[in-house]
Amino acid sequence: DYDATRKERITTAKSLGIDLSPNLSLALRGAGQMELRSLRWRPLPGAREEAESVQTQLKDSIYGPVQVFYGGDAAEEVFKTVVSPRIIHLATHGFYLPHETAGAFNESRSVKRSSGSALGRLRYVDNPLMRSGLVLAGANQLATNSEERTVDLEDGWLTAQEISSMNFRNTELVVLSACESGLGDSELGHGVRGLQRAFLVAGAHSLLMSMFEVPDKETRELMGLFYQHFVQTGDQVKSMQFAQQKLILQRRTQSGSAHPFFWASFFIVGQPEATPVGK
């Protein structure tokens, strides 16, 4: 719930025993918050249904039990308490801003900026891990009551920089069911620096992520097919191949064609493991 209020999130955090004392990450991000106030994220109608489907398929498998956070409970301060689960599945908005030069920024400063360019200045931050991330509960509150913000809650904007300092050393798979979650700055000899680099640095073994904007309905179907095969085989790569092939067949049957927009965005990086289903 991107509109979750401060009161709702404090209630959730306290019920989970989360420490709400001042933290460094908020102080570091304070300068960027002014540029985010006019940006609002739309709800993803299929996200909850997708999460419920994943829970149903995993709870009785070797990956169960499953802990699920919906709506206002899916907050940044909650996510930061997670330590190395075998699988992490995030169904939310993702963002990545390509780097721009300072010269271009200086030339455009006199141009009136619309609300659609609320993330504009973040393009000029050198660190690509600060220009990519995920959006969690309460992120839209930055646009409505930022003058009342205190340091006891996170802002709902989970940057790749923050993720890189977490512990996912025993996490076999991170699924980022979000738009453009696989993007980042490409550097010769260093690969892509963005969300994928952040999770790998944090210790995650592999990630399933997207290269471009993905449709809500088809993404939900793709994930359902992926887990259907995955819980039976434990093979990440073959499970994604299975899901994409099934979705292609469905699209061709329903509409006569299967444009890559509906099935080709997701890919796997890292060291995907074929886990024996009996372990």
In angstroms, rounded to a whole number, what is the distance separating the alpha carbons of residues 16 and 81?
10
Please report whether residue 209 resides in a domain.
Answer: yes
Question: What are the Cα distances from residue 279, in Å, to 61, 64, 231?
Answer: 10, 12, 11
In order along its 279 residues, the chain shows pLDDT tens digits of 555 555 665 665 556 555 544 443 332 222 333 344 456 788 888 888 989 999 999 999 999 999 999 888 888 989 999 999 999 999 888 888 777 644 443 333 333 333 344 455 555 567 788 888 898 988 887 655 544 544 455 778 899 999 999 999 999 999 998 776 666 666 656 567 788 899 999 999 999 988 887 788 888 899 999 999 999 999 999 999 999 999 999 999 998 888 998 899 899 999 987 776 655
Q: Please indicate, yes or no, if residue 88 is contained in any of the structural domains.
A: yes
Give me the pLDDT at residue 222, please: 92
Whether residue 276 is contained in a domain is answered as: no
Per-residue confidence (pLDDT) for residue 42, from 0 to 100: 84
72 located within any domain: yes
Q: Could you please report the per-residue DSSP string of 54-83?
A: HHHHHTTSTT-S-----GGGS-HHHHTT--
Six-digit token string for 192: 């892509």
Residue 278: inside a domain, yes or no?
A: no
pTM: 0.75
β-bridge mates for residue 91, sequence order? 177
- Total domains in the chain come to 1
**How far is residue 13's CA from residue 98's CA, in Å, rounded to a whole number?**
33
Domain extent for 119: 6-270
Distance CA 20, CA 225 (A): 39
* Residue 41: both structure tokens together: 């994220």
In whole angstroms, what is the distance from residue 15 CA to residue 38 CA? Answer: 31
277 within domain boundaries: no
Q: Would you state the torsion angle of the CA atoms of residues 253, 256, 260, 264, taken in this order, to the nearest 10 degrees?
A: 10
**What integer pLDDT is reported at residue 121 of this predicted model?**
53
**Which tokens in the block code for residue 178?**
């979000």
Does residue 24 lie in a domain region?
yes
Among 143, 118, 150, which residue's Cα sits nearest to residue 9? 150
In a domain, 279, yes or no: no
